[in-house]
Structure 1
Amino acid sequence: MSTSPQAPAPETARTHPRALEPVTLVVTVLLSVLGAVIGLVLITTLGIAPNTSVIGALIAMLIGRISFAALSRMRDPQRQNLVQSAISGSTFAAANSLVTPIAVPFLLGKPGLVWPMLGGAVIGLAVDSWVLYRVFDSRLLPAAAAWPAGIAAAETIKAGDEGGRKAKLLGLSAVVGFVGSLFKLPMSAAGVAFLGNIWALLMFGVGLLVAQYAPTLLDVDLSANYVPHGVMIGAGLVALVQAVLMMRDRKGGKGGNGAKGTASGAARPARDAEGSFDPEVRTVDSRRLRRGLLEGLALFLVGALFIAFTGGVLADMSGAGLVGWVLLAGVAALVHQLIVGLAAMHSGWFPAFAVTLIFLILGLVLGIPMVPLALLVGYAASTGPAFADVGFDFKAGWLLRKGAVPWHPYEMAGRRQQYVAQLVGFAVAILVVALAWKPFFEDGRVPPVAQVYVDTIKAGLTDTHTLTMMALWAIPGALIQFFGGSSRQMGVLLATGLLVATPQAGWLVLAALAVRVGYSRWKTRKRTQADADPSADSDPSADADNELALVGAGLVAGSSLNDVSQIYKAV
């Protein structure tokens, strides 16, 4: 089912605003500083990294209401989108891609390795965003997929620009999401259930429920027995094979010529893609997808080499061991970003901690020494969240640019400017972390997940139970992912639910899915009973999805606002 809101009325051809325009750049830098500080403070105190894109969009809207100098230009939804892209990028970059990795060697008692690790994390962050920029809207990561936080950001911007019933519905849903989050209910889980693939989210909800009730009903601690990790390993391996098959598919046509996402891969004329918007037209073909992922792997290997030489890995490993470490680190970074990105695309949740822990355990099994293993873990942890966040932001832009005519050149220009805005946000985050990490760490304020990584490295593997359990549970994970297919990612989403294990989230996901199915059927039945013209353009099922997408976007936005408001607990 399509969950994307209906396209706005066509616009006349115009040039997309630039991210480096003076007013836009000043607003972007200032809000990026705010986002980086919020991410740094919350990840080191409460262990969360909030999505600040809605905050950025709201502030940009308020600035646009100021009739002073050129500030009124911020009324443009496209400029607001550039700003929200930058602030969300700076938040996740500071919290997930930079501070968490450098905390690992620090907690291990190796503060001298913080700067080499920071350099490697910067490379990981840069490659992470570059790969997503190259492969977004391909068969592997289509723009038409859920990307829930992106829908929330786009609908917030559109509601502020258009007002009316849409703004009221979104605002009411955001209030419900915010209030529910105050009572510790995971409202974002309910929100994404209105936005994504039903089968994928059904498995996500099942995983959440199993994780919540297995300890009490079955007297089994799934995490202690590494059941979720095993399921993710099996599902992840199959997902990677599916991704490789997509890369090898030569029937995908030329994305720039309007390659359509059909089974036959039949290409459409270039003028169709450059005319009005068509949701079935992809902008990235199989060739560019293959090239983007291979470029990413090569660049990740370069980053691994940098860490190996600046971090002194050679002192703990032989020449052959060094080669093996570099290869493992590069592959781990690529695999980590893909699995985290696929899970986030469908569910809006990042299983980054758990996937990093999988590579940590693999390193223990291979007998990698403590310091090289810590650097490997930090490098893998630097990828994934920024990859997913850029996807969210590109999804928001994709929705906001639907009405442009000609669509294709405007979409590609807008995506490029969003990427530039993201780079500005990343640069600000790097500067903030470089200046702030030492006083934060010396004050004992470190990301909790980094402490878990270090404790696991120090404890090591005392028996073969861990490896056996992961190998055993990898089998059902692989089978579910295989039979579900690459478009549903059922195995990866089941594992994500098992790993996230947020209380009550499973019930909210399944309840929202039930409402979604029931509302769609009610709309269809109502149309049938009214004897509507069957040739009418309006599809009742699509209408239901579009209306519920607003509700879901509001719930996600409200939950994100609550996360950001937690800053008062940390200061």
Structure 2
Amino acid sequence: MNPRASTSPSSPPASSSAPEATPARHPRALEPITLIITLVMSVLGALIGIVLITTLGVSPNTAVIGALIAMLIGRIPIGMLTRMRSQHRQNLVQSAISGSTFAAANSLLTPIAVPFALGRTDLVWPMLAGAAIGLAVDSWVLFRVFDSSLLPASNSWPAGVAAAETIKAGDTGGKKAAVLGVGALVGLVGALFKLPTSAAGVGFLGNIWALLMFGIGLTVAEYAPDVLHTDLSAAHVPHGLMIGAGLVALVQALLLMRNRKGGGKGAGREAEEAPGDVTGAVPGNAPGEVRADEPGRTVGSERLRRGLLEGMALFLGGAVVVAVAGGVAGGLSVPALIGWVLLAAVAAIVHQLIVGLAAMHSGWFPAFAVTLIVLIVGLVLHIPTVPLALLVGYTASTGPAFADLGYDFKAGWLLRRDATPWHVFELDGRRQQYLAQLVGFGVALVVVALAWKSFFSDGRVPPVSEVYVTTIKTGLDPGTMQTMLLWAIPGALIQFLGGSSRQMGVLLATGLLVATPHAGWMVLGALVIRQGYTMWRRRGLTDPVARKKSDEQSENDLSLVGAGLVAGSSLNDVGQLTKAL
């Protein structure tokens, strides 16, 4: 079986029902009815996020909830509400609610809880300002580099597939809706029995090599205490592997920025210079025509390079704001202050890239673990307590929103890939999704600013923030850094051998760090079923073209099952709100 690769936009797979007709222009994120629904759903998403992160320590993906509510609103036969029957408007709503959930829980509330748990309530507002900057830069970078060679739209992004398939099934109905519904029911029931069914769903969606390493990591982490009589996480073995794999992944990303081969640069320039009239065609095309040589990616190496460099510069600016507002500038020497600002900016961009790459391939992101690595590095460098707490908070503000926006862009990419002309409509739709997410981020910022004091005063502080503060206060055990550097070597080798397209080292470390019970068996079992189903469909086929077509159909069938499992698990996560309340 080949690693999963989605069909390019110019040749979408056939569906059982006719796709929604492409509108003359993509629906606007700020048109009145969409904006009103987006605002209401964003408030709901932010509240769900902060309640669950402070009580259960989790932040659910609410995209499926947003899509379902938008679909229900569209079925109300009242004036402008019928406009919500559009898949693209539903995509805007689900983008906003999921963005507000992750922004409120992970990117804003968790960072400001660090100085609060440290006893420095005077630093909460400066940290909130820094976290807001980190969140804004995080989303901007993803908007700039999504669908590049580093973060291709054709890669897995499992939660995005689940959202898109939910929207499409609600629109077309029939067999597709039935398969998705059965998958969602299985995912929901399994999750109710504490089984990580989302892990099985991811196994049907992602790159097989990346997921194999992810499943191995999950399984080893689960059984190492009993078989090896070792707690790998307590020994910081996964952290060491992530350091080595992360450094190699960063180098691989830099090399992709330099790559000018294969028309990627042309794709980026063509996409950026396409005219703003979404009813027209890409330059050189007749209306409605897609050139045979039109590149599949919309972002080339030149825009990728600019996007990451812009992100680094903006993260530097944000670090300066945190240093000044948090009083770091007055407590450090000039060389130490410069070093702190540089470390904060580098940690922020490395954190977002590692989290984004892991999320793209596996649907899981090790944000807590990578932030903890930054914390450990800070302890090794003997950074004072307050500057270290602000460094950790600033780093924690990046990553989750980056990954979530990738999921939402993937959902939009799947919903828009039948459009003609494709390039212009895709880029306009992505821009509208970004605007919808900015609305969600703004709502999340307001909700957190209003609610943090009441939550924290009631003792409801995100558990991960308390772990950060405890680690800052207790320091490191002797030999921790030596152990991590030792294990960084195999992590770097695995990442290097797997290459940038598989992210095997990062995913192995992610599995070891996530360490969710039984998730390894779910992932590996899904991969076995995937291989078996593909081989069963191939039986009797000898023609290479026929075999390739059969493999593609197998992937399409199982993608729907996987999307249903992920959607069902997400519904259960959101359902935990009743327990939290």
TM-score when normalising by structure 2: 0.93
Tell me the C-alpha RMSD between the 2 structures.
Answer: 1.9
For 1:133 and 1:450, locate their aligned partners in 2 and report how far apart those are by CA, in whole Å. Answer: 28
Give CA deviations for 1:496-543 in whole Å, capped at 9, x if unaligned: 000000010000100000000110111111545xxxx87669800000
Give the match for residue 159 of structure 2: 149
Would the aligned equivalents of 1:16 and 1:414 in 2 still touch at CA under 8 Å?
yes
> Which amino acid in the other structure matches residue 333 of structure 1?
A
Give the match for residue 278 of structure 2: none
Give the match for residue 535 of structure 2: 521
Matched, 1:418 2:433: yes
Query: Offset of 1:275 from its aligned partner?
Result: 3.9
Give the alignment of 1:331-410 within 5 angstroms.
331-410=346-425
Q: Which runs of 5+ in 1 are unaligned?
A: 260-267
Match of 2:336 among 321, 340, 363: 321
Would the aligned equivalents of 2:142 and 2:405 in 1 still touch at CA under 8 Å?
yes
Give the match for residue 509 of structure 2: 495
Match of 2:313 among 274, 294, 298: 298
Would the aligned equivalents of 1:273 and 1:407 in 2 still touch at CA under 8 Å?
no
Give the match for residue 16 of structure 1: 26
Give the match for residue 76 of structure 1: 86
Give the match for residue 43 of structure 2: 33
Of all paired residues, the percent bearing the same amino acid is 71
> Which amino acid in the other structure matches residue 222 of structure 1?
L
Would the aligned equivalents of 1:7 and 1:403 in 2 still touch at CA under 8 Å?
no
Out of 330-339 and 536-545, give the one that drifted further.
536-545
For 1:64 and 1:276, locate their aligned partners in 2 and report how far apart those are by CA, in whole Å. Answer: 32
Would the aligned equivalents of 1:3 and 1:195 in 2 still touch at CA under 8 Å?
no
Match of 2:492 among 478, 484, 488: 478
Query: Offset of 1:272 from its aligned partner?
Result: 9.9
For 1:479 and 1:222, locate their aligned partners in 2 and report how far apart those are by CA, in whole Å. Answer: 19
Give the match for residue 459 of structure 1: 474
> Which amino acid in the other structure matches residue 518 of structure 2?
Q
> Which amino acid in the other structure matches residue 159 of structure 2?
A
Give the match for residue 559 of structure 1: 569
Q: Secondary structure at the match of 2:143?
A: helix
For 2:389 and 2:286, locate their aligned partners in 1 and report how far apart those are by CA, in whole Å. Answer: 51
> Which amino acid in the other structure matches residue 181 of structure 2?
G
Give the match for residue 297 of structure 2: 282
Give the alignment of 1:148-187 within 5 angstroms.
148-187=158-197
Give the match for residue 57 of structure 1: 67
Match of 1:254 among 266, 271, 283: 266
Give CA deviations for 1:141-198 in whole Å, capped at 9, x if unaligned: 0000000000000000000000000000000000000000001000110001100100
Query: Offset of 1:4 from its aligned partner?
Result: 3.8
For 2:511 and 2:388, locate their aligned partners in 1 and report how far apart those are by CA, in whole Å. Answer: 27
Would the aligned equivalents of 1:93 and 1:386 in 2 still touch at CA under 8 Å?
yes
> Which amino acid in the other structure matches residue 169 of structure 2?
A
Q: Runs of 4 or more off by more than 3 Å in structure 1?
A: 1-5, 7-13, 256-259, 268-280, 533-538
Give the match for residue 134 of structure 2: 124
Distance 1:317 1:566, change over 3 A: same
The number of residue pairs the alignment matches comes to 558
Distance 1:231 1:273, change over 3 A: farther
Distance 1:258 1:197, change over 3 A: farther
Distance 1:538 1:335, change over 3 A: closer
Match of 2:521 among 493, 504, 507: 507
Match of 1:449 among 453, 459, 464: 464
> Which amino acid in the other structure matches residue 253 of structure 1?
K
Matched, 1:216 2:234: no
Would the aligned equivalents of 1:143 and 1:395 in 2 still touch at CA under 8 Å?
yes
Would the aligned equivalents of 1:190 and 1:505 in 2 still touch at CA under 8 Å?
yes
Give CA deviations for 1:254-288 in whole Å, capped at 9, x if unaligned: 124669xxxxxxxx996499844999610000000
For 1:276 and 1:356, locate their aligned partners in 2 and report how far apart those are by CA, in whole Å. Answer: 44
> Which amino acid in the other structure matches residue 137 of structure 2?
V
> Which amino acid in the other structure matches residue 564 of structure 1?
V
Give the match for residue 265 of structure 1: none
Matched, 1:546 2:556: yes
Would the aligned equivalents of 2:538 and 2:547 in 1 still touch at CA under 8 Å?
no
Would the aligned equivalents of 1:257 and 1:273 in 2 still touch at CA under 8 Å?
no
Out of 269-278 and 482-491, give the one that drifted further.
269-278
Distance 1:522 1:158, change over 3 A: same
Give CA deviations for 1:279-322 in whole Å, capped at 9, x if unaligned: 96100000000000000000000000000000000232111111
Would the aligned equivalents of 1:275 and 1:408 in 2 still touch at CA under 8 Å?
no
For 1:401 and 1:270, locate their aligned partners in 2 and report how far apart those are by CA, in whole Å. Answer: 21
Give the match for residue 100 of structure 1: 110
Q: Which runs of 5+ in 2 are unaligned?
A: 8-12, 272-281
Give the match for residue 189 of structure 1: 199
For 2:230 and 2:286, locate their aligned partners in 1 and report how far apart those are by CA, in whole Å. Answer: 56
Give the match for residue 243 of structure 1: 253
For 1:270 and 1:232, locate their aligned partners in 2 and report how far apart those are by CA, in whole Å. Answer: 46
TM-score when normalising by structure 1: 0.95
Query: Offset of 1:480 from its aligned partner?
Result: 0.2
Give CA deviations for 1:443-502 in whole Å, capped at 9, x if unaligned: 000100000000000001242x10011000000000000000000000000000000000
Out of 244-253 and 404-413, give the one that drifted further.
244-253
Would the aligned equivalents of 1:258 and 1:282 in 2 still touch at CA under 8 Å?
no
Query: Offset of 1:13 from its aligned partner?
Result: 5.9
Give CA deviations for 1:366-419 in whole Å, capped at 9, x if unaligned: 010000000000000000000000000000000000110000000000000000
For 1:376 and 1:15, locate their aligned partners in 2 and report how far apart those are by CA, in whole Å. Answer: 43
Give CA deviations for 1:180-227 in whole Å, capped at 9, x if unaligned: 000100011000110010000000000001100111101111011100
Matched, 1:427 2:442: yes
Would the aligned equivalents of 1:39 and 1:94 in 2 still touch at CA under 8 Å?
yes
Q: Secondary structure at the match of 1:221?
A: coil
For 2:541 and 2:430, locate their aligned partners in 1 and report how far apart those are by CA, in whole Å. Answer: 38
Q: Secondary structure at the match of 2:318?
A: helix
For 1:249 and 1:257, locate their aligned partners in 2 and report how far apart those are by CA, in whole Å. Answer: 14
Distance 1:476 1:406, change over 3 A: same
> Which amino acid in the other structure matches residue 161 of structure 1?
D
For 2:365 and 2:173, locate their aligned partners in 1 and report how far apart those are by CA, in whole Å. Answer: 32
